[in-house]
Structure 1
Amino acid sequence: MGWLLLAVGLLPHALAVAAEPPEPPEPSALARCEEGFVAHPAGSETALCFFREAQDLGRRDEARRRLRGLIASHPERPWLLLVLGYVEMLSEPRLAEDSYRRAALAFRKQGDAEGEVMAGINLRNVLGVLGRTEEAHTWVQRVGEVARASGDAQLQVRALILEASELSDLGQDLGRAYRLLKRAEALAFPGGSDSVKKQLLNPLATVSANLGHFDEAQDAYARLAELARSTRDVGTEARVRFAFANLALRRNEERPEPGGRPALLRLAREALAAARKAGSKAFEAQSLRMVAELLGDSPEERSEADEHLRRCLDLALEAKLPERRIACLWTRAERLAGVDAIAAERDADAALALAAEHDNPRYLASAWRARSMVAFRTRPLPEALRQAERALDAVEVLRQLQKDASSQAELFSGWANDYHRLAGRTLEAGETSALPPREALERAFAVSERLRARTLFEALVASRALAVGADAPERGEERARVLRGLSATQRRLLETTLPASERTRLLGELQELERRERELRPAPRHDAVQFASLSRTEEGLGEDEALLVFLVGMDHDLQGERAGGAWVLAVTRGGTRAYRIPERARLSPAVALLSGLIERRDGSEAGAAAALYAQLLAPVLRELPPSVSRLLLVPDGPLHDLAFAALRERADGPPLISRYALARVPSASLLHHWRERSEPPPAGEALVLADPDRSGAPAGTTVVASSRGGVFGETASLGALPEARREGRTVEEALEGTDVRPRLLVGTEASEQALKDSRLDGVRILHLAAHAVVDVEAPERSALVLAPGSPQEDGLLQPREIAELRLRDALVVLSSCRGASGALLAGEGVLSLARAFFESGAHAVVASLWPMRDAEAAWLLERYYRHLASGQGVASALRSAQLEAQQDGQPAAAWAGVVVMGDAALVPVRRAGTAAVGVPGQGATWALALLVCVLVVAIGGGWWRRSKRAAPAWPPEDRGEGRRGG
């Protein structure tokens, strides 16, 4: 839901207070505060006594009076001004501005870095509340300068938090905000004060949540809760209660569970009770709104919700919290939509106007979404659809504010349900004649394309998303230095004898180098892209092709409103039809069940495969033209994990591949982009790197690894892969007599340096048979493990390096430890190292959805290359190999999980002396293929929001045969 971006409160305008909350005040406490200050006027602690006592509303006026008297008699003590600002902020931010400003200037004059940082932070927060963003920005810059000049780690943490706050408050560049906070985390833990840790953990958790890193957000909030308990901080406890409820709500939205609403309502009520106990107006308003959102439509619940929303609006107005008021207005509008259309539209318009007044893209996107939700219940459907389209325009403005592709995709994925809703409701309009059926199909297809693999598409259209600015050469040189530092640090971390203390230090150094490298990357260009229209897509398909576009949404949202449902669009050259399929909540367990049954390797999956065939494909395939022999699948949600090849019309019938070659494409727009090129593929090279040797051990002492995998810390101990060496020779033999010249590098020659030194623009097939290491917590450390090849390389081919290989329409075969499962980003799809190869210039992917046994993988691989060498396209060759495996009696686990991604019709190899083979109008050689256990998405999300999915735990062979898989 869009409103969650506001509900979480990316970085609340909290006071940067340097001390912990006190015990409950005693009688005459303020008098003692004054006596204490007179006795010890230096420093901050005695002044902060007044703020602690002012938490009690009844003492607030007296605290202000006593502070003003002391300021008059001690003008040289700016801590008094700062604390007066704290006290005034509790009631009226406008009053606090003057006190904070005077304090900051006085601290600056005295050269007190700590005081100026504290005053500057709070002044910036006040200015942000008042909407004076440009003036607030000058104080962000000033605080950073003072903190860096001071050399004080704790002040630097506060400055980094403030810089991240500025970005995230406006919904701008959340990726950079996240990296700033991770840098601050390294400075604050373990030695920082409890106060600094609390100030850091809250924004770290909320930014993580808004990028979809729910596990990391949960961990940060858990640490914050422990700090709140240990310091008896009721205000922080209220914050954490609300945060946990909000996280649960967001998780339920992505993975709905039956009966989840009562549990969420209970959490929201607990958050409300904690906010009231703490006396926090901001969190009380947020919690009131959440409770109202989750209440049902019975008379009692409706009455309670109305009262909560009235109180929410009053609190937001009283505490000068415009974002809370906006959220309360649209929540009330959505609740009123079914009973009072006029009042609902009035509230929705008021929320939109207030959001526009503050010129905050985050507020605007959420307010537009709410306006469209009201319109679906109060306006004719065509008008409601137009408003929903306007809401998506606002979302995409917010997306464009993100400065790197990863944060663009991560933030965008949080709005995927809105795209599903609009596409589904548009198709429903075509069913009910609210729209002409063809117009409904065209508009729904356009919405789908706006959602699919956007960052990848834009990167390819904009020449791999590299923008060259005036400062590019200098930044490029600095980035090169950072990359050399990364390689050197990782080489040290690979040393098996490294002491634990040194390893910890180097990991911290590595984290900082990684952050710096991200900052120095060229910014993505936002060139306009032209999405493929439905008509253009139909015209671009062959007579033998059908494009099946899946939209796996929900039938109803948490509030019971229609959420668009789930659909499949069957696109052929002759036209397009839409079919309903089961919603996401039903498909997810069905897909998981099929995968588990396939894992048993006993044929017990046949019934489940037939059931999914009936639900997803039966109506579609019955009405396809008889000429269709290839299905291009655009999966969505849980269908990314589905082994379509194993589906069958009857439990005792043949699998789907007996009728169709299959391939997966990220979007129709990308398919069109790949097929625009029409020249035939030139003769080229097949570069094969197999069984890299990085041990340097004498012959006969090498340990043979049973699987191709490991984590970063285990890279140094990985053994040899003799099966991979045989695999390389298989590729070499299969390509003899073709126009693709094989070049096999094994052992120490199979190196990172050799790969980077190769003329890759002439490589048509790149085959890498090697270990891969996966780090789900730090995905960019994941890598294909090669021999180093030079003292400057570490042998870890990582995503940032893969993306810069500059392949030219090459077929890349990665026979590694993982498959095409792992990180799933809503809209963008399944991502990992495969994405980096796409960006490097490849076009199609062959990958495995699960770990495979070495013998079975080698068997399938040999036949796959044999069919490629005969001139078949990438999808047809795989179908032929899979059919042979199925007819040989091998279980589905041995062949059904291998999939083609990209342009299925690509023909990368032809026999010497034969004419180029291809489909008219299609591109030249464009293929990225990751065969068998490709390291495709298992790096935990690449640069993207992670949705961690464990690979199946395959049983070992009885004869002790090795496996390809982690």
Structure 2
Amino acid sequence: MFCGFQLGGEVTIALTERQRLAGALACLFPFLLHCMLDGGGGSKHWEATFLYYLAEANRLLGLNDDAMTIYRQPIDAVEQARTLSIPSEVSRAGIVSARHDVFAGTIDFMVSRHREAEAFEIAEAWHARALLDILTESRVDLTKDLSASQREQEDKLFARISSVQRELWSAGGRAAPEEELKMNLARAENELESFQLEMRRSNPRYAGVKYPRPQKAEEITARFSDDGTALIEFVLGDQKSFAWIVHGGRISSVVLPPRKQIEAVVSNYRAALNEHVSALTVKTSIASTDLLGSQLYETLFAPLESQLKGAHSVVIVPDGVLFYLPFESLRRAAVASKKEADAPYLIERFAISYAPSATALRLIQDPKESTTGARGLVAYGDPIYTAVKFDSSSAQTGRGAELTSLPYTRDEVSAIASLFALADRHAYTGAEATEASVKSADLSHIRYLHFAAHGVIDEDNPMRSGIVLSRVAQSNEDGTLQMNEVVRLKLGAEVVTLSACRTGLGKVMNGEGVIGLTRAFQYAGAKDVVVSLWNVNDVATSELMKAFYQNLTRGLRKDEALRQAKLQFLHGARGTWKHPYFWAPFVLNGAND
């Protein structure tokens, strides 16, 4: 009999040789029982692992009915493990992320048995579960129950983090103080997280929070019964990847290449998108970029295209690296006719938006604060950074991590504000564009919230990601509105726009998606968040944002408003801006209702 286990280590079961499978099946349950009873191994994690191997063994033996029954059990075990985990976002997400094999393997089996709807439900159980939990808690707003002393303690912890951040940024790269300050920062952040966890544990309303279950396939198909809008949901797997199309009240699925194959092409495509573009190189650059884009088109979109007839709006639920891919920039290769008109970009065919999952989309559409009566604009731009000379002749000026001045953001904010009545607009620029002014403003009834500034993204420690505003010497604030601070805002915004570099990036976790600024603003109450996927051009971004808000004030839907702004670049007279680098970085995440 072939069996093997190691307490506290990895379990290895050979399932590739049929003659060993009977022995593997016979010993799996004793191992499972041993691990569940032993003090070091009794966990839902182990239970999910063993049940999954058991289901796989039954599948390979051809016992498909038994496999069908067993496959759902490890999913249930993972769900129970989530409820028992530390109630922090990363911890909850990590429980599901670590069991990628369980979800992908179960989906593979369901699809092979032509159970597309059930496979789709597994995908929904896989996607954005921590986000669903935190969104639900944010609707309850447990912070209302904090006592005055607890609020004071929390404020002191935030102030301590800001103080260390200010010291860290003024350390000037000196290794010794910088390392010590980083340790101090980590300690302060850990203390804040511990405080917030304790407040949750001690709050009786926390125990009564009703967390939403992933929606059933029939519930989701009913929401996409309109032929004009389709949902596409992806799951990337090590052996196979999958996509589901929900359109016209029907659901279908396709099998795609393995994760690594897709990741390699996406990586090459993103590298091409970020190459320097000039008037002399734009045609060559577009051709090489489109070649890579056409490979992704054929891999990810062509297999499901026949299911999208009649759709003019598409909601995409990405997975893994696909969160960093602007699908609207993909196009098929025009090999036969050599005519661009025969190979339009997807942006020319569809208005595209993105969502963390179909279930999460439904919750985001039910905002934290009522948006009824929300009106007007609050915008922040052209913060004061350092006395850096700005070369206005440079067409490649970006909004990246180097804190150079961004003069076009003042024009951007002024032009956008001019679209609103004087009483309905508040624009903060220069020395007024501060972190303190954001926190002190009543944003609960503001329809549009706009930031035109530098963004800082920390993919290892996403809570440190933020929008960099004017730094005031005598302020208690560090000048960067970070994730933990964003979550404390009370928003009623239809749209929050982060007109800065790479604001759509963060910590990518299997199944969960991107932990970053997008979801922080969603937790705070925003219905839609517009973010960027790479370092953006200052001049082009300013023009794109003006067009976007002009379209919004004309009454266009949010996805269509952004689409039309991009089409102005694509079909405009300025040849350089036809390159996707200039018009494709900004994407719409959220409700789009």
TM-score for the superposition, normalised by structure 1: 0.54
For residue 153 of structure 2, give the secondary structure of its aligned residue in structure 1: helix
> 1:376 maps to what in 2?
59
Which residue among 484, 494, 501 is the counterpart of 1:817? 501
Alignment of 1:608-687 (within 5 A): 608-626=292-310, 628-651=311-334, 652=340, 653-676=343-366, 681-687=372-378
Structure 1 residue 671: Cα displacement: 1.6
Change (3 A) 1:814 1:356: same
**Given that residues 171 and 178 in structure 2 are in contact (C-alpha distance below 8 angstroms), is that contact kept between their aligned partners in structure 1?**
no
> 1:895 maps to what in 2?
583
Structure 1 residue 499: Cα displacement: 7.6
Amino acid at match of 1:347: C
Determine the C-alpha separation between the residues in 2 that align with 1:481 and 1:647: 48
> 1:554 maps to what in 2?
238
For residue 138 of structure 2, give the secondary structure of its aligned residue in structure 1: coil
Change (3 A) 1:485 1:613: closer
Change (3 A) 1:357 1:659: same
Which residue among 109, 122, 128 is the counterpart of 1:453? 128
Change (3 A) 1:670 1:748: same
Change (3 A) 1:607 1:506: closer
Change (3 A) 1:390 1:644: same
Determine the C-alpha separation between the residues in 2 that align with 1:777 and 1:672: 29
1:357 aligns with 2:45: no
1:727 aligns with 2:416: no
**Given that residues 764 and 809 in structure 1 are in contact (C-alpha distance below 8 angstroms), is that contact kept between their aligned partners in structure 2?**
yes
Determine the C-alpha separation between the residues in 1 that align with 2:233 and 2:534: 23
Determine the C-alpha separation between the residues in 1 that align with 2:112 and 2:178: 58
Amino acid at match of 2:581: A
Structure 1 residue 658: Cα displacement: 1.5
Alignment of 1:317-328 (within 5 A): 322-323=7-8
**Given that residues 400 and 536 in structure 2 are in contact (C-alpha distance below 8 angstroms), is that contact kept between their aligned partners in structure 1?**
no
> 1:224 maps to what in 2?
none
Amino acid at match of 1:792: N
> 1:132 maps to what in 2?
none
1:339 aligns with 2:19: yes
1:413 aligns with 2:97: yes
Change (3 A) 1:496 1:579: closer
Determine the C-alpha separation between the residues in 2 that align with 1:623 and 1:773: 39
Structure 1 residue 791: Cα displacement: 2.5
Amino acid at match of 1:348: L
For residue 191 of structure 2, give the secondary structure of its aligned residue in structure 1: helix
Deviation track 1:629-666 (CA, whole Å, cap 9, x = no partner) reads 10111112232232311222343322112211111111
Change (3 A) 1:500 1:352: closer
Structure 1 residue 749: Cα displacement: 1.0
For residue 753 of structure 1, give the secondary structure of its aligned residue in structure 2: helix
Structure 1 residue 853: Cα displacement: 1.6
Structure 1 residue 845: Cα displacement: 2.3
Change (3 A) 1:480 1:859: closer
Determine the C-alpha separation between the residues in 2 that align with 1:846 and 1:427: 34
> 2:537 maps to what in 1?
853
> 2:279 maps to what in 1?
none
For residue 424 of structure 2, give the secondary structure of its aligned residue in structure 1: strand
Change (3 A) 1:360 1:660: closer
Determine the C-alpha separation between the residues in 2 that align with 1:781 and 1:703: 28
Determine the C-alpha separation between the residues in 1 that align with 2:299 and 2:231: 17
Determine the C-alpha separation between the residues in 1 that align with 2:141 and 2:106: 32
Change (3 A) 1:635 1:748: same
Change (3 A) 1:465 1:581: farther
Change (3 A) 1:883 1:777: closer
Determine the C-alpha separation between the residues in 1 that align with 2:173 and 2:67: 63
Contiguous gaps of at least 5 residues in structure 2: 276-281, 335-339, 392-396
Determine the C-alpha separation between the residues in 1 that align with 2:469 and 2:273: 32
Deviation track 1:651-702 (CA, whole Å, cap 9, x = no partner) reads 332211221111111100012223357987424231101112266xxxxx66
> 2:337 maps to what in 1?
none
1:836 aligns with 2:520: yes
Determine the C-alpha separation between the residues in 2 that align with 1:793 and 1:451: 38
Determine the C-alpha separation between the residues in 1 that align with 2:314 and 2:406: 35
Determine the C-alpha separation between the residues in 2 that align with 1:483 and 1:710: 23
Determine the C-alpha separation between the residues in 2 that align with 1:588 and 1:504: 34
> 2:72 maps to what in 1?
389
**Given that residues 336 and 343 in structure 1 are in contact (C-alpha distance below 8 angstroms), is that contact kept between their aligned partners in structure 2?**
no
**Structure ranking higher in helix proportion:** 1
Contiguous gaps of at least 5 residues in structure 1: 1-305, 317-321, 431-439, 556-564, 696-700, 712-717, 907-966
Change (3 A) 1:426 1:496: closer
Structure 1 residue 480: Cα displacement: 2.2
Determine the C-alpha separation between the residues in 1 that align with 2:112 and 2:171: 61
Determine the C-alpha separation between the residues in 1 that align with 2:398 and 2:430: 17
**Given that residues 867 and 881 in structure 1 are in contact (C-alpha distance below 8 angstroms), is that contact kept between their aligned partners in structure 2?**
yes
Determine the C-alpha separation between the residues in 2 that align with 1:445 and 1:360: 27
1:518 aligns with 2:209: no
Structure 1 residue 470: Cα displacement: 8.7
For residue 251 of structure 2, give the secondary structure of its aligned residue in structure 1: strand
Deviation track 1:564-623 (CA, whole Å, cap 9, x = no partner) reads x22211101331111222222322222223333444542223333333323322242223
**Given that residues 690 and 724 in structure 1 are in contact (C-alpha distance below 8 angstroms), is that contact kept between their aligned partners in structure 2?**
yes
Determine the C-alpha separation between the residues in 1 that align with 2:348 and 2:174: 57
1:881 aligns with 2:569: no
**Given that residues 399 and 500 in structure 2 are in contact (C-alpha distance below 8 angstroms), is that contact kept between their aligned partners in structure 1?**
yes
Amino acid at match of 2:218: S
Structure 1 residue 442: Cα displacement: 2.3
Percentage of identical aligned residues: 25
Structure 1 residue 367: Cα displacement: 2.2
**Given that residues 750 and 787 in structure 1 are in contact (C-alpha distance below 8 angstroms), is that contact kept between their aligned partners in structure 2?**
yes
**Given that residues 540 and 573 in structure 1 are in contact (C-alpha distance below 8 angstroms), is that contact kept between their aligned partners in structure 2?**
no
Which residue among 410, 413, 437 is the counterpart of 1:754? 437
Which residue among 154, 161, 164 is the counterpart of 1:486? 161
Structure 1 residue 807: Cα displacement: 0.9
For residue 463 of structure 1, give the secondary structure of its aligned residue in structure 2: helix
**Given that residues 540 and 672 in structure 1 are in contact (C-alpha distance below 8 angstroms), is that contact kept between their aligned partners in structure 2?**
no
Amino acid at match of 1:895: W
Which residue among 380, 383, 391 is the counterpart of 1:689? 380
Change (3 A) 1:744 1:400: same
**Given that residues 365 and 398 in structure 1 are in contact (C-alpha distance below 8 angstroms), is that contact kept between their aligned partners in structure 2?**
no
Structure 1 residue 451: Cα displacement: 0.8
Determine the C-alpha separation between the residues in 2 that align with 1:360 and 1:723: 55
**Given that residues 399 and 536 in structure 2 are in contact (C-alpha distance below 8 angstroms), is that contact kept between their aligned partners in structure 1?**
no
For residue 852 of structure 1, give the secondary structure of its aligned residue in structure 2: coil
Determine the C-alpha separation between the residues in 1 that align with 2:548 and 2:508: 27
> 1:545 maps to what in 2?
229
Alignment of 1:915-926 (within 5 A): none
**Structure ranking higher in strand proportion:** 2
